[in-house]
Chains A and B, each alone.
Chain A
Amino acid sequence: MLQCIFLLSDSGEVMLEKQLTGHRVDRSICAYFWDQSISQGDSFKLLPVIASPTHYLFQIVRDGITFLACSQVEMPPLMAIEFLCRVADVLSDYLGGLNEDLVKDNFIIVYELLDEMIDNGFPLTTEPSILREMIAPPNLVSKMLSVVTGNASNVSDTLPSGTGSCVPWRPTDPKYSSNEVYVDLVEEMDAIVNRDGELVKCEIYGEVQMSSQLTGFPDLTLSFANPSVLEDVRFHAVKKLKNTPLYVKPQITSDSGTCRISVLVGIRTDPGKTIESITLSFQLPHCVSSADLSSNHGTVTILSNKTCSWTIGRIPKDKTPCLSGTLALGTGLERLHVFPTFKLGFKIMGIALSGLRIEKLDLQTLPPRLYKGFRAQTRAGEFDVRL
């Protein structure tokens, strides 16, 4: 089982250590980890399971914070990883995001949460709703209170009722004055367009998210208008599509040490709603020494690690957004022989691209003043366009 959890900032500083068992893990293991990740580059940093000379390390990275857990014995690695992911989720939920300052500023809460979430290396209470009852999340009121009165305990005195329940995500006897239930259909489009411009893979993964404020434990039935579009209903919906709403046409020509690049982004098939927050990002190849890129719409930024991102926003009516410019290649290089992959991001509110529609939501017993809300949304998942 897990012996210790470290939280490391992106500069490698150990922000927090929580020993879980009697077998203490010295924090020098973090130094080992950091040395390795520097010497071996990114690939090591992303390796989730590492066998160090003394411990097995599990790591995940969230928003620049590395969650590092140590174990010396056999244990399911996925359990450790899933747990770390859960910790990261809970922390970012509590702190309203994750970064070095937030963790340091709220280190007591982080400690208290970790202590509740894991006992002797085995997860104890990981259900966010129960944790919220045990340890109050920091909010403006409690902060003010602590400033004014000087003390505000965020540790609850009573055991949440959900701890013994089979449905720990709900309190044992929920009561709400207004009965509301909201259904969100969130779809993600994964697509790969290969270098010939062919659509190799285009799939939609959907999730039905619900937010329920219903008194008691009513039985709910969600019906879809056209369930036939779902390929494998057991999973969060998976559907293969023939087409993408947007097209990306990249072109690159290289000649005697300079390349001309032009990328066009446009609407292929109008989904019926506005496509928002369109972004396109790509990594410039190592051999590119400098780049001069400009666009007729939106903004282009090139980061120091040669990541170029183009924020388009919405497609204007009068023109097709176009990114163009030249890339200067490193010395001695005539032509570009490696080509970047463009990552497309977009969001469409109010429509599920798969065509899936929610027909109705039935409640077995209708509570008074029931409000039901539905919403759909599609966004780009792994949308790769290769040049």
Chain B
Amino acid sequence: MFNQFGSTAETLSKASAVVLRIGTDAHLYDDPEDVNIAPLLDSKFESEKCEALKRLLALIAQGFDVSNFFPQVVKNVASQSSEVKKLVYLYLLHYAEKRPNEALLSINYFQKDLGDPNPLVRAWALRTMAGIRLHVIAPLALAAVGKCARDPAVYVRKCAANALPKLHDLRLEEHAPAVEELVGILLNDHSPGVVGAAAAAFTSICPNNFKLIRKNYKKLCQILPDVEEWGQILLIGTLLRYVVARHGLVRESLMLSIHGLDDKGFYEKDGLSLDKGDGDKSDSFDADLVSLVSKCYIEGPDEYLSRSSCPETVSSAFNSKETTSIASNEDVKILLQCTSPLLWSNNSAVVLAAAGVQWIMAPLEDVKKIVKPLLFLLRSSTASKYVVLCNILVFAKAVPSLFAPHFEDFFICSSDAYQVKAHKLEMLSLIATTASISSILREFEDYIKDPDRRFAADTVAAIGLCAKRLPTVPATCLDGLLALVRQESFAGDLESVDEEAGVLVQAVMSIQTIIERDPLSHEKVIIQLFRSLDSIKVAAARATIIWMIGVYCSLGHIIPRMLTTITKYLAWSFKSEASETKLQILNTTAKVLANAEVDDFQMLKRIVVYVFELGECDLSYDVRDRTRFLKKLLSCKLACHEPAKDSVASQESIAEHVVEHVFGRKLKPFSPLALQNRFYLPGSLSQIVLHAAPGYEPLPKPCSFVFEEHDQLSDSDKHREATDLNGSQESSETVDEDGSSEYDSESSNGSDFSSDGDEKTISNDPLIQISEVAVSADQEELRSKRALDLWLDEQPSTSNQTSSALDRNQSSYAKISIGDLGSRVKPKSYTLLDPGSGNGLKVDYTFLSEVSTVSPLHVCVEVLFENSSTEPIREVHLEDEEVMKVSDSAEQTLVGKANASYNNVPTIIPMEEISCLEPRQSAKRLIQVRFHHHLLPMRLTLHYNGKKVPVKLRPDLGYLVKPFSMSVEEFLATESRLPGMFEYSRRCTFTDHVKDSRMENGKDKFLSICESITLKVLSNSNLHLVSVDLPVANTLEDATGLRLRFSSKILSSEIPLLITITVEGKCTEVLNSTVKINCEETVFGLNLLNRIANFMVEPSSSATL
């Protein structure tokens, strides 16, 4: 009956559990593989995709590798359902690094999502895109972050700030300046949420770039209270580091108090305030320790402690120039003001960070205000309690009086974890004062009876520490400890021997620490201890006591008289001892003998000889060794019959001295500094684990950040330089053009422009056809409105808007045809090997626009060899480097993927060998090269005179495309098919024409501009000029609206790539141009865009006409 009922209840509870689990994802977690996942992923129903993705995540959660589904999952990134999208992103981020090639497939969708009107979608796309750690997409991701950093939605900007460390983590040197600049922009954001995230990015990217902080320091301080808690933690640290680097430490602060206080003298040298510290006394502290702490903060303990092995030299003063005063320094004042309210934050990490600032920077009398907030943190979770206690311990070590009045807060609760208990004990023994010691000792008495014996043992040790610190206590302590020793010795042979033994050993050690201070007055205690030796069974405790016999054998009057009895006892018990104790017996008997008086000498000698005999036959080799050593050492003593007080025989006296030195040494005074003295910044991980964690940095050197006015100027310059440098690096990878850049001059009306085309003017030249192309302009407007650029443009009055306004005004365009400029396109050669490193052989190369005969992937490169030495050079040959084959497979496949069919084609079609090159002679050779990646140089080996020299052939992006002839209509149609994510533009300036127009007064300005731009573009890349449009309504001086269109195809993939250059500005002045690229291959397109923008800006040397 009952059974039945029981089973019903069981089924009921089971049933209710099932009911509860209905509608959850329980079944997916339990059996993720009970259906075939692959077809679900391809399903057309969102819900099925969702289920499949959930199953995959369940497998990930359980630690299975499901990266083989990657291609199918990536496809779903285009889903409209936010849940599917989220799940795909979760999956993608988990595996992106593992499957880089497939991850690239998703890039275009991210690009598209980045233009979504929904900020959540933009943020997700950015987070995921930046999270895919691929070097190839780093430029894209950087561009995306740059856009999102100016997003109207706070959330997106915050995600942009979070994305920066991801980019930084890729360690791409060329992007570092751009990333740091973005950090600066985001730090300057007006939204506190963004600033918090930017502070985190700053900490992980460029923690010492104080220039970024200097610009916004005051603002950052003011915004600090509104920043999110997590951001606050890092921002506080950043501000502190900045202030220290800029102004140094504060003279009134605790850190420097040792130097400034000698005259005022309101601290005690010993650092122990003996009466109840009631706030006024908060300035009594351990001066040496404080000084050590501040040194450690600045230099890092590893460096500092290794340098100065002797802690006494600590107090080498800080340079007084490197300090500041709170009264005079506004920055310090603000820092303290804005961090002190954070002491009452809800988040313990913020409180600790704020307390750290006050601790280091606040004037001495203000430091005590960190006490109560810190104590309040002890009420938070167990985990944070432990960390807070670790930090409080450091504070208390330096300034015990800070926490002395609050000793009750460190009383131990039964629910505390063992570590917390141990720290509290250490704390109590640190802050005990004569006023509080009685309560503390009463507490300790309770703790000794705690069931946790390890804790009890720690308590006993703490009692010893207390007694050592406070001279008035020992009497009471000692009685208690002796009682404990007696009691424990009874309990010593219990089951839980190990734990009990710990208590006993600690008790004996604590007694020893107390006695050590003043052995003479504790003679009776020592004797009591000796007497209890018989009842104590624990080897370690016995060993300690026996050791004490040796140390105090000549103390006072009573002990020396007891010695014979004691040594007899020791000799008697020797056989049954543990080897640890045996060693101590050997030592002690030897010491006793060395210090023996005349009366007992013979007796002792016999005992010692007996003990040595036993020792020599011991099982433990340690004991045997020790015995032999001591026997030899004491041979003189053992030989003579009298204690050799006055023996002057030289041979023996040396032995005497040795013995005296070995056994008669006084105990060294115990230095508190030798204790745990590694200090790290408050709140740091290193302080908890007590070693410098990777990435730990001490405070910057005081006043290491010197800021001067001209610095400020150069600041922005440097940034520009940095970006320029960035650009030029890129451009240096590319190579300039070649002479024979030929292109069809597709003059729309077949006009016969003479190639010199000198005296043409717009107004009356019949060769300029005026046509209405307003439609196309409108089209473009619409497109760019639709595109993501709309929300990106920070100032509404930039190019887009102004040009659109202009466009509307001047709706009619003239189409210009330009004659063949081919003859004027000059080759730009790049150096492969300079004569300096090539023993006079100079090798230059230029890219040709000819299409390769081998495969469409190859680029023709003309290599010019020139012998500038006086000797002939023989057997010059250029070939592929073998090592090349192990290049990064990821990137290889990137380009190689689309053209698997060409993979068997060699990467280089070598040139024919030059057998001999006479001095001053030069030779041209043609090689055809297939680049593995459009940015990576190709490694070649140059052979000459039997030598091998590795050289690098850098690809020029401009020649990895080929001209693709199309009409304007085709161009516009193609362009309209490539909107949004496939369209990207960049602004740059153009100056070449200025020189030209100055030189040729008669020539039409527009034409010369068109010519110089075309020339510039065609000299640097292999493109087809589609059309040149000119706004007709323009005044003669205004070139705004001039538009050049180029078309091309990417060599490797045959994907069309359209380039439009739009010009703004006066004819005679520097022009602002916008280069726009439409291309499906976004990675390539963006890189090419950068390349074009870079060469447009470069003043060209070959522009002389």
Contact = CB atoms under 8 A, between A and B. Distances in A.
B598 interface: no
Question: A-B pairs with the 6 shortest C-beta distances?
Answer: A143-B23, A164-B154, A151-B47, A48-B383, A78-B349, A73-B695
A150 to B, nearest CB: 5
Nearest to A383: B413
A19 B23 CA distance: 27
A108 B59 CA distance: 12
Contact of B381 (A60, A138, A340, A386): A60
Interface string A75-107: 111110111110000000000000001001111
Given A46-B419, A235-B344, A331-B495, A72 B23 contact: no
Interface stretch (B86-94, B699-707, B956-964): B86-94
B1 interface: no
Interface in B493-549: 493-496
Nearest to A289: B495
Interface stretch (B2-10, B119-127, B843-851, B1073-1081): B119-127
B22 A107 contact: no
Interface stretch (B70-78, B441-449, B1027-1035): B441-449
Contacts, number: 281
A108 B57 contact: yes
A77 B685 contact: yes
Interface string A1-26: 10000000000001111010110100
A124 B159 contact: yes
A34 interface: no
B23 A138 contact: yes
Contacts of A180: none
Contacts of A333: 494-495
A340 B414 CA distance: 9
Interface in A151-192: 151, 153-159, 163-164, 166, 168, 190, 192
Quick one: which of A101, A122, A340 has the most chain B CB within 10 A?
Answer: A122
A33 interface: no
Interface stretch (B24-32, B427-435, B565-573, B943-951): B24-32
A224 interface: no
A157 B450 contact: no
Interface string A37-60: 000001100111101000010111
A235 B388 CA distance: 17
15 contacts: A78-B388, A81-B384, A104-B30, A107-B61, A122-B165, A147-B22, A168-B228, A194-B446, A232-B372, A234-B372, A331-B495, A338-B451, A341-B414, A343-B414, A384-B413
Contact of A159 (B120, B386, B387, B446): B120
Contacts of A59: 383
B82 interface: yes
Contact of B443 (A27, A81, A194): A194
Interface string B951-993: 0000000000000000000000000000000000000000000
Nearest to B85: A155
Given A17-B63, A120-B166, A157-B82, A105 B450 contact: no
Interface string B394-415: 0000000000000010010111
A339 interface: yes
B387 A166 contact: no
A287 interface: yes
B451 A285 contact: yes
Interface string B1-44: 00000000000000000000111111011100000000000000
Contacts of B672: none
Interface in A316-352: 330-333, 337-341, 343
B369 to A, nearest CB: 10
Interface residues of B, number: 114
A22 B131 contact: yes
Interface stretch (A111-119, A257-265, A297-305, A360-368): A111-119
A77 B687 CA distance: 10
A153 B82 contact: yes
Given A56-B693, A74-B693, A108-B25, A337 B413 contact: no
Given A76-B684, A82-B348, A107 B449 contact: no
A112 B29 CA distance: 15
A120 B162 contact: yes
B654 to A, nearest CB: 50
Given A43-B418, A159-B153, A333-B494, A194 B386 contact: no
A196 B443 CA distance: 11
Nearest to B491: A337
Interface string B331-343: 0000000000000
A142 B24 CA distance: 9
B265 interface: no
A205 interface: yes
Interface of B: 21-26, 28-30, 46-47, 50, 54, 57-58, 60-63, 81-83, 86-87, 89-90, 93-94, 97, 118-120, 123, 127, 130-131, 133, 153-155, 158-159, 162-163, 165-166, 169, 191-193, 197, 200, 204, 226, 228-230, 233-234, 237, 344, 347-349, 352-353, 372-373, 376, 379, 381-384, 386-388, 408, 411, 413-415, 417-419, 439, 442-443, 445-446, 449-451, 453, 456, 487, 491, 493-496, 683-686, 688-689, 691-697
Interface of A is mostly: mixed
Given A22-B133, A122-B162, 6 more contacts: A60-B383, A105-B25, A163-B155, A332-B495, A339-B450, A384-B414
B23 A144 contact: yes
A93 B94 CA distance: 26
B25 A107 contact: yes
Contact of A49 (B62, B93, B372, B688): B688
A119 B166 CA distance: 10
B233 A76 contact: yes
A332 B61 contact: no
Contacts of A48: 382-384, 386-387
B226 A166 contact: yes
B802 to A, nearest CB: 30
A74 B57 contact: no
Contacts of B386: 47-49
A165 B42 CA distance: 40
A120 B26 CA distance: 28
Contacts of A43: 417-419
A81 B445 CA distance: 34
A73 B123 contact: no
A213 B382 CA distance: 33
Contacts of A51: 689, 691
B29 A107 contact: yes
Given A107-B58, A163-B155, A338-B450, A122 B494 contact: no
Contacts of A120: 130-131, 162-163, 165-166
A247 to B, nearest CB: 18
A146 interface: yes
Contact of B82 (A71, A156, A232): A156
A108 to B, nearest CB: 5
A74 B442 contact: no
Nearest to A58: B383
Contact of B26 (A105, A111, A154, A236): A105
Contacts of A85: 381, 383-384
A129 interface: no
A59 B155 CA distance: 29
Given A74-B686, A74-B694, A200 B451 contact: no
Contact of B63 (A27, A140, A156, A343): A27
A286 B191 contact: no
Contacts of A27: 63
Contacts of B685: 49, 56, 71, 74-77
A73 B692 CA distance: 10
Interface in A177-226: 190, 192, 194-196, 200-201, 205
Contacts of B162: 119-120, 122, 124
B60 A17 contact: yes
A44 B26 CA distance: 32
